[in-house]
Amino acid sequence: MNTVVGVIGGGQLARMMVPPAINLGLEIRVFAESESSPAEMAATAIGDYTNVDSVFAFAQGCDVVTFDHEHVPQAVLTELVRRGIRVRPSPESLIFAQDKLLMRERLAALGIPVPGWAKASTAAEVDSFLLEYGGRAVAKVARGGYDGKGVRIITSSADITQWLTALAPGESLLLEELVSFRRELAQLVARRPSGELALWPVVETVQQDGVCSEVIAPAPHSAGRIADVAAQIAADIAEGLNVTGVMAVELFETTDDRILVNELAMRPHNSGHWSIDGSTTSQFEQHLRAVLDLPLGATGMTEPFSVMVNILGGPQAGGLPSRYAQAMKLHPTAKFHSYGKEGRPGRKVGHVTASGDDLADVAYQARGASAFFQH
Amino acid sequence: MNTVVGVIGGGQLARMMVPPAINLGLEIRVFAESESSPAEMAATAIGDYTNVDSVFAFAQGCDVVTFDHEHVPQAVLTELVRRGIRVRPSPESLIFAQDKLLMRERLAALGIPVPGWAKASTAAEVDSFLLEYGGRAVAKVARGGYDGKGVRIITSSADITQWLTALAPGESLLLEELVSFRRELAQLVARRPSGELALWPVVETVQQDGVCSEVIAPAPHSAGRIADVAAQIAADIAEGLNVTGVMAVELFETTDDRILVNELAMRPHNSGHWSIDGSTTSQFEQHLRAVLDLPLGATGMTEPFSVMVNILGGPQAGGLPSRYAQAMKLHPTAKFHSYGKEGRPGRKVGHVTASGDDLADVAYQARGASAFFQH
């Protein structure tokens, strides 16, 4: 009898769960949206993840069902649970990664440090918030945004008239203080149902146009207080929200020296891709272990530093392999990852990680190797 | 257009090529012998590798064809090449891994140090060799032996009467000096068609009942002369035999301080499994790069020591995953590899690797973690 993990969603996160599943001898099955997807090599069903019967048919043969993304509706998730499917993370936990307003409310209740925030459903509420926070703020749609989509810096309610008028009765937008931060950090944590936690070193994340472009592990100048605070925040959230699997907590390191929570992702996350090559246990292997309630693996780094650079756009034809001959020749230590996607401007199609004991050289190798594909 | 690597044979070596193929965005297709094989997740054809038309039909869609094992007959290989298939390693190189007599003759011609040897097809020739070498020797069938099969220590021609009478006209057995060795080593090398070579650190291999049980990387007390000689031998063979892909050279470190070649494997090899977790570039990724004539990756170790322990036999039911709960709890740094095979006494069903900077602890972790599965 094989141990079977089902993954809803056929994106690159599902794809990157396949190698550790093969290594561990676990059977992985993917419910993909279309015939051609990054995780197609493990797809056993193609369908619509909002259709509960399709998802249930897929899930029946699985020991546990988990996710490539957070978009599966609560109604589908709770019905799967009602029909006896083991869903991890649970719908009750996942809701906080699906709805930014619920997340802010819950984190506030748990005493987790977050930027100033408010709900708003009218122009008057928006303008009142702007007045309180000095005339600038961040507006976010509560559900469905990602990679900078559904997030806007505003100076007037007029900037988001469309979002306000599109709100259904009872819905609100999230308004947040525009935090003055020195840099962004991310703390990756894994938790299994029995309660065991594992934390990787806190990392620095660099964004371009709202999309992660680079990750440095560990975050420079983070030893001591910053690492301790980030770890404590992530542990408190994982326990407070009863998370199962990997969770990424995106953080601001502010100019007034505070660590505030920005966003949560309740799945493996771009900020943890470096762990495939740079940690004893990758976030993808750890996610499989956690959702199966297996003991978690060691999260130490195999080398002192890792730098991961995303490949956005990519070659229009031939994919990353069409440029390996040049890139590999100059960067023999770089680890190349292709998601098997067609190149398209701004699209995440792969990443490169380099590791070693000299951060300047490691960053040079990762940036240099990725440059061959960035257009 | 995908870059497609075809692998003939569906064993664990083909299986372990799948994760790096996924990472690199290469398409891997496996020609397996049966529906259920360790590499079944990548199998696109099931058939008999001695049937040239079956293999050709499989190979037509591949940019290059390589191997999980060395058993594909020369007649099939040369016909594939004649029909325009890119076969790596080439039939002309692979013959030296298929035929131990040809290998010995060629290594001797290249000036590579080997144990004393002779061909023998009669009892008189065997007994004459025994007399010359003090009454004991090793007899080997020239073709088809592996993991201790087809190898026997003899004191008289009567010990191998069956082998002698089974010889076809023109065939011979290989007789070898019974070398007095302190330990066995293995040197892994990769070579691509353009000539570039990459060598991993020389390792110590421990055998039980003729089967590899443990590998220590790097081999203790190998820095300097031993490492240099092993590397030079492997490089000379790789170039002398025009090898493409990964080759393992099994070596004796004799009591009179010589390094002699024992066997060759012209494919990824058990002595290199540690590289999946302990080297910047695993032997499986390197093999893919080499047969595609891509630049080779760095072969340094990510941590100072790695120890790999084979799992022989394994649980009769449920596979390795059925015992992960206990093994992972006590060994969080161990990396577990299951080949998806049913347990059977003496069968290689997986391996465990541990890495770190304290060899005694690394060996303890690898041996301890593997002990959960060894029965």
A15 touches chain B (CB under 8 A): yes
Cβ atoms < 10 Å from Cβ of A177: 18
Task: Tell me the shortest Cα–Cα distance from B341 to chain A, in angstroms.
Answer: 9
Question: In B212-312, which residue ranges form alpha helices assigned H by DSSP?
Answer: 225-240, 275-278, 283-291
pLDDT in tens, A50-75: 999 999 999 999 999 999 999 999 99
Q: What is the CATH number of domain B4-87?
A: 3.40.50.20
- CB pair distance less than 8 Å for A280 and B355: yes
Interface pTM, i.e. ipTM: 0.94
pLDDT in tens, A84-96: 999 999 999 999 9
DSSP state of A301: B
pLDDT in tens, A209-225: 888 999 999 999 999 99
Q: What is the CATH number of domain A181-371?
A: 3.30.470.20
Is B51 annotated as contributing to ligand binding? no
Model confidence at A146, in pLDDT bands (50, 70, 90)?
low
B2 touches chain A (CB under 8 A): yes
Mean pLDDT of B320-332: 96
Q: State the pLDDT at residue B261.
A: 97
- CB pair distance less than 8 Å for A328 and B298: no
Nearest Cα neighbor of A246 from A286, A218, A297, A299 is A286
Structure tokens at A298: 């060691």
B337 touches chain A (CB under 8 A): yes
pLDDT in tens, B43-91: 999 999 999 999 999 999 999 999 999 999 999 999 999 999 999 999 9
Is A27 annotated as contributing to ligand binding? no
For the cut 80, the answer to whether the pLDDT of residue B147 exceeds it is no
Q: How far is CA A258 from CA A226, A253, A255, in A?
A: 9, 6, 7
Q: State the pLDDT at residue A316.
A: 79
Optimal mutation site among B23, B36, B200, B311, interface A, most CBs of chain A within 10 A: B23
pLDDT in tens, A335-368: 999 999 988 888 999 999 999 999 999 999 999 9
Nearest Cα neighbor of B267 from B17, B86, B3, B5 is B17
Nearest C-alpha in B relative to A278: B302
Nearest Cα neighbor of B214 from B186, B242, B194, B236 is B186
Domain with CATH 3.40.50.20 in chain A: 4-87
Taking CB atoms within 8 Å and a gap of at least 24, the contacts of A71-74 are A71/A9, A71/A98, A71/A144, A72/A8, A72/A9, A74/A98
A324 touches chain B (CB under 8 A): yes
Domain with CATH 3.30.1490.20 in chain A: 116-177
Is A105 annotated as contributing to ligand binding? no
Tell me the chain B residues in contact with residue A19 when contact means C-beta distances shorter than 8 Å. 18-20, 22-23
Q: State the pLDDT at residue B188.
A: 98
Is A176 annotated as contributing to ligand binding? yes
Cβ-nearest to B324 among A294, A298, A332 = A294
Calculate the average pLDDT of chain A: 95
Contact residues for A322 (Cβ-Cβ < 8 A; gap 6+): A315
Q: State the pLDDT at residue A147.
A: 65
Nearest Cα neighbor of B348 from B249, B208, B151 is B208
Calculate the average pLDDT of chain B: 95
Tell me the chain A residues in contact with residue B12 when contact means C-beta distances shorter than 8 Å. none
Nearest Cα neighbor of A201 from A223, A181, A182 is A223
Cβ-nearest to B336 among A24, A333, A338 = A24
Q: Is B60 helix (H, G, I), strand (E, B) or coil?
A: coil
- CB pair distance less than 8 Å for A337 and B302: no
Mean pLDDT of B23-36: 97
A302 touches chain B (CB under 8 A): yes
Task: Tell me the shortest Cα–Cα distance from B60 to chain A, in angstroms.
Answer: 19
B318 touches chain A (CB under 8 A): yes
Tell me the chain B residues in contact with residue A332 when contact means C-beta distances shorter than 8 Å. 281, 295-298
For the cut 90, the answer to whether the pLDDT of residue A144 exceeds it is no
Q: State the pLDDT at residue B144.
A: 77
Nearest C-alpha in B relative to A297: B332
B319 touches chain A (CB under 8 A): yes
Is B2 annotated as contributing to ligand binding? no
Cβ atoms < 10 Å from Cβ of B26: 26
Optimal mutation site among A280, A308, A348, interface B, most CBs of chain B within 10 A: A280
Q: What is the CATH number of domain A116-177?
A: 3.30.1490.20
Is A262 annotated as contributing to ligand binding? yes
Contact A133, A177 (CB under 8 A): yes
- CB pair distance less than 8 Å for B280 and A320: no
- CB pair distance less than 8 Å for B321 and A26: yes
A44 touches chain B (CB under 8 A): no
Tell me the chain B residues in contact with residue A63 when contact means C-beta distances shorter than 8 Å. none
B124 touches chain A (CB under 8 A): no
Tell me the chain B residues in contact with residue A319 when contact means C-beta distances shorter than 8 Å. 2-3, 25
Contact B172, B120 (CB under 8 A): yes
Nearest C-alpha in A relative to B39: A22
- CB pair distance less than 8 Å for A295 and B333: no
B30 touches chain A (CB under 8 A): no
Is A342 annotated as contributing to ligand binding? no
**How far apart, in whole angstroms, are the C-alpha atoms of residue A185 and residue A230?**
9
Tell me the chain A residues in contact with residue B302 when contact means C-beta distances shorter than 8 Å. 302-303, 355
- CB pair distance less than 8 Å for A296 and B332: yes
Q: Is A202 helix (H, G, I), strand (E, B) or coil?
A: coil
A317 touches chain B (CB under 8 A): yes
DSSP state of B53: H
Cβ-nearest to B15 among A22, A276, A317 = A22
Task: Tell me the shortest Cα–Cα distance from A330 to chain B, in angstroms.
Answer: 9
Task: Tell me the shortest Cα–Cα distance from B323 to chain A, in angstroms.
Answer: 10
The interface residues of chain B toward chain A in range 277-296, judged by CB-CB distance below 8 A, are 280-281, 289, 294-296
Is A204 annotated as contributing to ligand binding? no
